[in-house]
Chains A and B, each alone.
Chain A
């Protein structure tokens, strides 16, 4: 059987019967070609979108939830409704100690302040932060460093500014590191410049100063603006959010059912929605691709059936000359597989071209919609495997049809 595949005559026969009716052969191939093209194109585009989402979220711990104090809406334990909830540093410690599955809890403070440097000024968000922030929300530093523990311990007056602020307060190509800027009329030394990147998830933060320094200059005491809780990769962020909120409600004497007292934004949940959407899209892609492919293969089976009908007499002659039914069937199946495979390969190649086109059109630059739109070799081989399997199965139908007629009847056919 294997030897048969390497014989020149086998392929001569395939070539002869395919070139006998060129238009029909080409039309036959279009179905499968289109199916594979769709499959490769859609899968590649889906991958591109997924990659671009991953790049957007890449710098962010996606398994995170923000908790912000709000105003109570239910009276509880002698407190009237309308009480303002102020989260404190001790809340973060307790959450870290008591809620299961937590990676970090990062308390943050934020304020708007006037920032002045020589004759340039602007109003920016000043955030009081711990070095830990860098773990949750990776800072792309262009120059210098982020806040470290010593800055916190010594209440240093240092700041890390965004590239946009740098552009507003500094001349082009001016060295920023080591320069002083005035926040609320207090001099801060610039120790780092960072790139904001593509998106700002959560509240925007333009200037970072040590948390302890923030406490001092804004008189915050133990109060914090909000906290970011990051779960371990394997833990359920929705459960963490519930546990943490319940703990805070307990500490702050808030009614357990009060859902206005604490506000929050569950990044993990939002992210899961997007990943779910992407998974759905991939499933849809496979479904559409394979369905189109099957339709294409059926078209091949159909055309071969007609071809076999047309060649009834020829098949009769061949059998009179000594062709066994197996030899006839084998030839037809090889033809079917060959057509599917050639059409499939052309589909893969043109699908690749489409992905290259997509990449050129939408895949360039930092804010590209499609990042590295591509399919893996595994997918290509899987698609080919499906093609060969379907081609063989569908080829069996005309093959059995061809040999179901007795040679005598086949010869009588005009």
Chain B
């Protein structure tokens, strides 16, 4: 599904440069649910951005679903993002002047689907996150948990191979966090591959595998017994 080999990334800071990723090797198979953990500055967000094609590595290989991701033009990156990836952000990043349905339909618009197909698909995914009756509400009229579920529906809309979640529960209270995790677990049960960046232990334990980053290298990579979120809800 995803294969990363000797990935390096550094950012220039003034005259010197900050070496953030110092040779990452990572392989994620289809159907996995991986938590990427680490303190701030460990490079976990950078890794996720590179996987999400929002950023490019300095050196190393990155192969996504058999396609080597290298020397991407902005246009190509946009097409790959649309085709392969679904993003879930900490701050939801919904477009505030569009209602829930329009937000979910947005990636489909960039896929070039016609209006009717988009509406149908978006409704289907809204139903899946249980917010169909909120379809015509603006994000400002929704709670944090609802917003994140809309964002998940949006990430799912384009039917991506890989879901990337950057601190998906970072802006939510514990109860809502568990609800979101329960839902992500359900998606994983259905076969979706999910990558979650988090610094919360309880969230990581709800995944099937935990990768710990420290100072730009993988410190630990282990399978865990998944804690089902449903028992807390």
Contacts and interface: CB of A to CB of B under 8 A. Distances in A.
B81 interface: yes
B91 to A, nearest CB: 8
Contacts of B98: 16
A325 B98 CA distance: 21
B111 to A, nearest CB: 7
Main secondary structure of the interface of A (DSSP, over half): helix
B97 A20 contact: yes
Most B CB contacts (10 A, CB to CB) among A9, A17, A321 go to: A321
B83 A9 contact: no
B222 interface: no
Nearest to A17: B97
Contacts of B38: none
A16 B97 CA distance: 7
A326 interface: yes
The 5 A-B residue pairs with the shortest CB-CB distance in the complex, in nearest-first order: A322-B82, A322-B110, A408-B54, A324-B78, A321-B107
Nearest to B52: A320
Interface string B69-102: 0000011001101110001010001010110000
Interface in B42-90: 49, 52, 54-55, 74-75, 78-79, 81-83, 87, 89
Most B CB contacts (10 A, CB to CB) among A16, A20, A407 go to: A407
Interface residues of B, number: 25
Main secondary structure of the interface of B (DSSP, over half): helix
Interface string A290-313: 000000000000000000000001
27 contacts: A9-B109, A9-B115, A16-B97, A17-B97, A317-B93, A318-B106, A318-B110, A320-B52, A320-B54, A320-B81, A320-B87, A321-B87, A321-B106, A321-B110, A321-B154, A322-B79, A322-B82, A323-B110, A324-B75, A324-B110, A325-B74, A403-B74, A406-B55, A407-B54, A408-B54, A411-B89, A411-B93
B158 interface: yes
A112 B93 CA distance: 95
Contacts, number: 62
A172 interface: no
A322 B54 contact: no
Contacts of B79: 322, 324
Interface of B: 49, 52, 54-55, 74-75, 78-79, 81-83, 87, 89, 93, 95, 97-98, 106-107, 109-111, 115, 154, 158
Contacts of A403: 74
A312 to B, nearest CB: 12
A326 B110 CA distance: 11
B82 A325 contact: no
A59 interface: no
